[in-house]
Structure 1
Amino acid sequence: MSMRIKLGAAFMAAALAGAAFAQAPATQPARIRGEIVSHDGETLKVHRRSGDTVSIDVKPAAKVSAVKAIQLSDIKPGTFVGTAATTGTDGKLTATEVVVFPESARGTGEGHYAWDLGPKSTMTNANVDSVVQSTNGRDLTLSYKGGSNVVTVPPNVPVVTFTPAAQSDLTPGKKVFVVATPASQGTYVAQRVVVEKEGVAPPM
């Protein structure tokens, strides 16, 4: 694996994990999901799923990456993954997406915590202890420092891993996931950007 891919994967792991933890509302990173309206110089305008359009300052040093689709069967015991999931009325977790981290990113953001993809959404970054075929897909037994849980991954859920991208990939119409710091007058400063590439949109 090239150093470029390792670095891209490492920052993506941090994007998923580090963004979930904030010390104070004033410094809490924002997770912005939407579609690129324009990219002019260092200004990226994104139409968010919530319906508004925001301006994001993307410095040359900002990390940009993409994801590529892989198969659910690629998830094996010993893999380190991050999975967003919803909690059912029975307390069971059902995945809405799974990101497979390379070995170089193992342990980043390890744990189970709230996520903002929807009501009762969580994120688990953990080691896969076992994979069992079930009637609803595959059941992943995940372990992390301080706990463990079982997440069911339905066959139609996006499963991705990381691939390099550049600011030249930030073109109008592309889907993006941005971790950014709120700035003045409703603008943001990008820490990390995950952009759609080759038809694969960031599912996180």
Structure 2
Amino acid sequence: MSFLIKSGAALLTATLVSAAFAQAPATNPARIRGEIVSHDGDTLKVHRRSGDTVSIDTKPAASVSAVKTMQLSDIKPGTFIGTAATTGTDGKLTATEVVVFPESARGTGEGHYAWDLGPKSSMTNANVDTVVQSTSGRDLKLSYKGGSNVVTVPPNVPIVTFTPAERSDLTPGKKVFIVATPASQGTYVAQRVVVEKDGVVPPM
């Protein structure tokens, strides 16, 4: 039974990561970041960082997960990560958050592409080839299909990995990161929900 539970959790995590970090320009999913206002049945209302409040249909098929904190020292050569980063005037990438993928999700969303976390933001999902200590933190040399780059991870950058959560965790005041499909009249249908748990806020 424990093997089945662990396997199910690993599958859930891999599926969640795929939706949250894979590029899908054909469907243009919305990434909603904000705070839960209410959760009534399948309807989740979220006050977005942009200032408006949106209604999101969280059907039973929508997966719910959370994140837990990891350390910079947990990132080693061979780790598969996703990192949002900003590009400096010198062209160098500096991480604003890092997600450590479980091995079951290796290869998810692999590549380097634009992200919507902030100005000049990008996402790189890649294998860590080398880790070098620098004056600004740690420099990660990343490789992915079709390219490679180096990302500096400062010591204060949030580093997380996915962990299971329940719908009962979707309570008012909790911060969320949601991948959803736009629906009619300004509403959304959730594909995946990542919710704050044990004080750890989704940094994506």
Stretches (4+) displaced over 4 A: none
Judge conservation of contact 2:20–2:192 (CA < 8 Å) in 1.
no
1:14 corresponds to: 18
Q: How does 1:103-142 map to 2 (within 5 A)?
A: 103-142=103-142
Listed one character per residue, the Cα deviations across residues 43-76 of structure 1 (whole Å, up to 9, x for unaligned) are 0000000000000000012110000001000000
RMSD between aligned residues: 1.0
1:5 corresponds to: 9
Measured after TM superposition, the shift of residue 11 of structure 1 is 2.0
Amino acid at match of 1:7: L
Amino acid at match of 1:22: P
Measured after TM superposition, the shift of residue 22 of structure 1 is 1.4
2:161 corresponds to: 161
Q: Percent identity?
A: 82
Deviates more, 1:110-119 or 1:1-10: 1-10
Measured after TM superposition, the shift of residue 4 of structure 1 is 2.9
Measured after TM superposition, the shift of residue 17 of structure 1 is 2.4
Give the unaligned 5+ runs of structure 2. Answer: none
Judge conservation of contact 1:96–1:157 (CA < 8 Å) in 2.
yes
**Count of residue pairs the alignment pairs up:** 200
TM-score, reference length from structure 1: 0.96
1:172 corresponds to: 172
Judge conservation of contact 1:85–1:122 (CA < 8 Å) in 2.
yes
Q: How far, CA to CA, are the matches of 1:191 and 1:91 in structure 2?
A: 34
Q: How does 1:23-172 map to 2 (within 5 A)?
A: 23=26, 27-172=27-172
Judge conservation of contact 1:70–1:159 (CA < 8 Å) in 2.
yes
Q: How far, CA to CA, are the matches of 2:112 and 2:170 in structure 1?
A: 31
TM-score, reference length from structure 2: 0.96
Listed one character per residue, the Cα deviations across residues 22-44 of structure 1 (whole Å, up to 9, x for unaligned) are 12xxx411000000000000000
Amino acid at match of 1:9: T
Give the unaligned 5+ runs of structure 1. Answer: none
Q: How far, CA to CA, are the matches of 1:38 and 1:203 in structure 2?
A: 21
Amino acid at match of 1:52: D
Amino acid at match of 1:16: A
Listed one character per residue, the Cα deviations across residues 56-100 of structure 1 (whole Å, up to 9, x for unaligned) are 000012110000001000000000000000000000000000000
Judge conservation of contact 1:8–1:163 (CA < 8 Å) in 2.
no
Measured after TM superposition, the shift of residue 21 of structure 1 is 2.3
Amino acid at match of 2:77: P
Secondary structure, aligned partner of 1:176: strand
Measured after TM superposition, the shift of residue 7 of structure 1 is 1.9
